[in-house]
């Protein structure tokens, strides 16, 4: 009878060790899954940030082109259009 008790105790110990082993393997698998998902999300975020940076640079370049065009047009207008003060001086001289 003591032998049966020892055998039952031994079987319980083996079952407990199997449970710990399976739990450890499952925990490790979950940890790998979380690490994989985190890496995938990080990689996608990095790609998105690179694309956003590229678009930002493109917008800044286009904005600079537009502003340069506006400034160029303003310089042309100032060169071609007579100033209001000059027109007023000429008109006042003509009235005399």
Segment 29-70, tens digit of pLDDT: 999 999 999 999 999 999 999 999 999 999 999 999 999 999
User: What are the angstrom distances between the C-alpha of 26 and each of 18, 21, 31, 86?
Assistant: 12, 9, 9, 88
Mean pLDDT of the chain: 94
Q: How far apart are CA 26 and CA 88, in angstroms?
A: 90
Count the alpha carbons within 13 Å of 35 in the hemisphere toward its beta carbon: 6
Q: How far apart are CA 81 and CA 88, in angstroms?
A: 14
Q: How far apart are CA 18 and CA 26, in angstroms?
A: 12
What are the residue boundaries of the structural domains of the chain, listed by start?
Answer: 2-95
- Give the pair of three-digit tokens for residue 70: 């506006």
pTM for this entry: 0.58
């Amino acid at each position: 009878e003591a032998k049966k008790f020892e055998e039952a105790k031994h079987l319980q110990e083996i079952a407990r060790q199997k449970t710990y082993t399976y739990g450890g393997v499952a925990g490790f698998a979950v940890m790998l899954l979380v690490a994989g998902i985190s890496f995938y999300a990080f990689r996608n975020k990095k790609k998105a940030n690179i694309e956003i940076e590229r678009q930002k640079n493109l917008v800044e370049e286009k904005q600079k082109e537009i502003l340069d065009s506006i400034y160029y047009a303003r310089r042309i207008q100032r060169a071609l259009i007579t100033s209001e003060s000059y027109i007023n001086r000429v008109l006042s001289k003509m009235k005399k």
